Amino acid sequence: MTSRSLRVLFVSSEAAPLIKTGGLADVSAALPGALRRIGVDARLLLPGYPQVLAALPHARYATDLHGFNGLPPARLLAAELPNGVPLWVIECAELYQRGGGPYQDDARLDWPDNAQRFGLLSRVAALLGCADTPLSWHPDVVHCNDWQAGLAPAYLHFARGAAPSMMTIHNLAFQGIFPPHSVQALGLPPACFSPEGVEYYGNLSFLKAGLFYAHHITTVSPTYAQEIQHEPLGFGMQGLLAVRHDQLTGILNGIDSVDWNPATDPHLARNYDAASLGKKAANKRELQKRMGLAVDEEVPLFGVVSRFTYQKGIDVILELLPRLLEMPAQCVLLGSGEAALQQAALDLSHRHRGMLGAYIGFDEALSHLIEAGADMFLMPSRFEPCGLNQMYSQRYGTPPLVHATGGLADSVVDCSAATLADGTASGFMCTEVTPASLWGAVQRAVAAYRDRKTWRAIQKNGMAKDFGWEKSAAEYAAIYRRLVA
């Protein structure tokens, strides 16, 4: 089968710009788009949250979805993403028509019926991927993403005339764990509730179901694919993943090189490219003004755009900030997450007015301005399956400071005499997520920043990298073809 004739159903719980809580949404829009550009007929299946339905006023009726075991009836609507990817949306008011976010309510508590909400997503995916599909379009492969779609490979395993399935892990730390009675409530056969199936320490795990029953497993960087076969990053799944290592592939995510292009980005004060890096300074001035910092072209300005969680190493950044600001240096923080970390960031910004700015929440335009206006980007994640901001940073000539893990290790080349000489140095790495280790990386980065010739070389090395989706899409298409063959 040629790639042109491949039909792939891409199943996700979020997709930009309709609904987004993290990098999964970016991947779920960009990867199907890239697949379509190389001839794969990729189509997306998404839950019908209020934000999604509001953004698709011209969605068309496709078919009725009659009630499955323990799940309410729904309708399937047809629409398109802004990038032209065909989209099916599950309209089910009982499960999706509510405030809050996709996974949690306004108090940041998980929805108590998440098993049903994402059980329906998985069940519809399986229906569209088996012989009894109500649609004329039938996928050759059902590509499931993260725990929210994890039951689809299990449903497909027990269905008639089912397409092969692929399971992509975007973050193994989130596993979709529910009580054992959920197995019957979701219409799964009782026999699958065992260690050789969906059972995980006495509970049902959506992710375990996907990892056990999918024909192939991928994750979002080669290094992360190795890390998750061992403790501590296996999060209890390392045994299963090690057994399935021959069916496990790490493929580095790409970025949307149209949205993230400093030469054309509409969110910037001034556009620039590798040949006009001097214009980048206008964005630094604009960022300093917007965040209430002293306008100073010489002081190094660090940027952070992140979820405020332990995983992202925000606690270490906050601990190091007073010392960093004394260099002197400046820093801007954008993100949200754990309340204690949010409050600590705000407290520090009040104590260090003019040097530190913090914005709690998300602002797409500001995130672009930070990537362009900062001199360097802090991203010391304790683990990072792939990460996107370190790629944005390099594309914007803003060398990242990262922990050597997962996709960060695969996409950033640490600055050294050897990597400067061979033209690959594009950032700075720390080997541990501790204040001391990160401080060492900061000192090396600031020393390089003071040497204008060295800094320009590092910036241009990063900007010359190709982080587009085309290479990754081709790797996915090759696996699809093997599954169909």
- Which strand ranges, in their side-by-side order, compose the sheet holding 199-200? 177-178, 203-205, 199-200
The CB-side HSE value for 244 (13 A sphere, CA atoms) comes to: 26
> Is the Cα dihedral 200, 206, 208, 212 positive or negative?
positive
**CA 378 – CA 319 distance, rounded (Å):** 13
Phi, psi of 47 (to 5 degrees): -65, 150
Cis peptide before 17 (omega within 30 of 0): yes
Strand 60-65 vs strand 74-80: parallel, antiparallel, or unpaired?
A: antiparallel
DSSP sequence for 180-238: TTHHHHTT--GGG-STTTTEETTEEEHHHHHHHH-SEEEES-HHHHHHTTSTTTTTT-H
**CA 434 – CA 440 distance, rounded (Å):** 10
Greatest Cα pair distance in the chain: 66
The per-residue b/e assignment along 393-403, b for 16 or more CB within 10 angstroms, e otherwise, is bbbbbbbbbbb
pTM of this structure? 0.93
Per-residue pLDDT of the chain (485 residues; tens, 9 = 90+): 444 479 999 999 999 999 998 889 999 999 999 999 999 999 999 999 999 999 999 999 999 998 788 899 999 999 999 999 999 999 999 999 999 999 999 988 999 999 999 999 999 999 999 998 999 999 999 999 999 999 999 999 999 999 999 999 999 999 999 999 999 999 999 999 999 999 999 999 999 999 999 999 999 999 999 999 999 999 999 999 999 999 999 999 999 888 899 999 999 999 999 999 999 999 999 999 999 999 999 999 999 999 999 999 999 999 999 999 999 999 999 999 999 999 999 999 999 999 999 999 989 999 999 999 999 999 999 999 999 999 999 999 999 999 999 999 999 999 999 999 999 999 999 999 999 999 999 999 999 999 999 999 999 999 999 999 999 999 999 999 999 99
- Whose tokens are 């047809």? That residue is 78
Strand 203-205 vs strand 199-200: parallel, antiparallel, or unpaired?
A: antiparallel
**CA 335 – CA 324 distance, rounded (Å):** 20
Of 217, 258, 216, nearest in space to 30 by CA: 258
Find residue 331's DSSP bridge partners.
302, 356
- pLDDT at residue 23, rounded to an integer: 86
In the DSSP assignment, the letter for residue 258 is: T
DSSP sequence for 239-257: HHHHHTGGGEEE------T
Kindly list the distances between the CA atom of residue 116 and the CA atoms of 51, 52, 292, in Å, as whole numbers in the listed order: 19, 19, 46
- List Cβ neighbours of 377 (8 Å cut-off, separation of 6 or more): 302, 303, 304, 305, 370, 371, 389, 390, 393, 398, 399, 400, 401
**CA 252 – CA 467 distance, rounded (Å):** 9
